[in-house]
Structure 1
Amino acid sequence: MGAAYFYHLTRRPLEETLASLAGKARGAGWRVAVRARTDAMVERLDDLLWLRPEDGFLPHGRVGGDHDAEQPILLTTLTEMPNGATCLMSVEGAPVGAEEVTALDRVCILFDGHDPGAVQQAREQWKMLTNAGCAARYWSEEDGAWEMKAESGT
């Protein structure tokens, strides 16, 4: 049974945090699906992951290609994860279901702490997931380093 980790971004940009978390997930041997709400975000993240030689290349693809099932990191707007992901990363408030949290090793929900709408959306996701019995952890970087500020369930 997995858990949902909420990442409240206030210092580092989404792209930097996502790349770091995706690299760690790959280091743990997990296949990753990155779910966004818009194709524009998928394209932005695709460009970012191709253009980050300073930290090393993260092999990935965009959903809809010939080799979706083989992608270690798959960028998508869909709920399906044809790459057999064991870790889901949600950006832009993309939906996450309680059944996904319990079925996957990890779900990461990244949200912009400077956007009141994104903060409200994350609060609603936290409430929905924890009310459904999912384990959840809330991480904040307000002091410069990631620190767990709240935990629900186990």
Structure 2
Amino acid sequence: MAEIGFYHLTRTTTQDALPALLGRTLSAGQRAVILCGSEDRLAALDTALWQCQNPDWLPHGSAATGYAAQQPIWLTLQDEEAPNGARFLFLIDGMSSARLDNVDRAFDLFDGNDGTAVAAARQRWVSAKAGGHTLSYWQQGPQGWERKQ
């Protein structure tokens, strides 16, 4: 079973919040897969990660660049076995995964300013809980991420 963290974005966009989480992932010696909801999102995120200044280096790739096994961070549109051996899965754009049993941690980032996104996240929470996963809920606060009960 995976440990799934739900990340309720209230002050920044997904694209702004991801670099810090990915930096921590790499610092922990882990690899990541980011499941994106569209080609446009994947392309924008690819550019944003290369231009990110904090952390200043987030090496990554996608099907467009290839060499999946060598990429610490893999951007994809496919809910498939991690081609880079990642045990951390980032779900953005309301994406869900049938492969939660194959990862150690999942990060579900959703826009707290979008009622539809919040309702969909609640449904994903119910499904993940029914699947026996360990869940946590994080919300952006004035000083950063705050774990809520």
Please report the TM-score for the alignment, with normalisation by the length of structure 2. Answer: 0.92
Q: Amino acid of the residue matched to residue 97 of structure 2? A: V
CA contact (8 A) 2:19 2:54 kept: no
CA contact (8 A) 2:68 2:83 kept: yes
Q: What value does the CA root-mean-square deviation take over the aligned residues? A: 1.4
Q: Amino acid of the residue matched to residue 100 of structure 2? A: V
Identity rate, percent: 35
- The aligned counterpart of 2:94 is 93
- The structural deviation recorded for 1:96 is 2.1
CA contact (8 A) 1:2 1:104 kept: yes
Q: Amino acid of the residue matched to residue 121 of structure 1? A: A
Work out the CA distance in 1 between the residues paired with 2:47 and 2:66.
19
Please report the TM-score for the alignment, with normalisation by the length of structure 1. Answer: 0.89
- The aligned counterpart of 2:120 is 121
CA contact (8 A) 2:72 2:84 kept: yes
TM-superposition CA deviations, 1:53-110 (whole Å, max 9, x none): 353120001125330121100000101221111100000011123xx33331210000
Work out the CA distance in 2 between the residues paired with 1:35 and 1:54.
22
- The aligned counterpart of 2:59 is 59
- The aligned counterpart of 2:78 is 78
- The aligned counterpart of 1:130 is 129
Q: Amino acid of the residue matched to residue 84 of structure 1? A: G
TM-superposition CA deviations, 1:22-77 (whole Å, max 9, x none): 11011111110000110110001000011123531200011253301211000001
CA contact (8 A) 1:11 1:144 kept: no
- The aligned counterpart of 1:111 is 110
Work out the CA distance in 1 between the residues paired with 2:107 and 2:54.
24
Structure 2 unaligned runs (5+)?
none
Task: Give the length in aligned residue pairs.
Answer: 148
CA contact (8 A) 1:3 1:102 kept: no
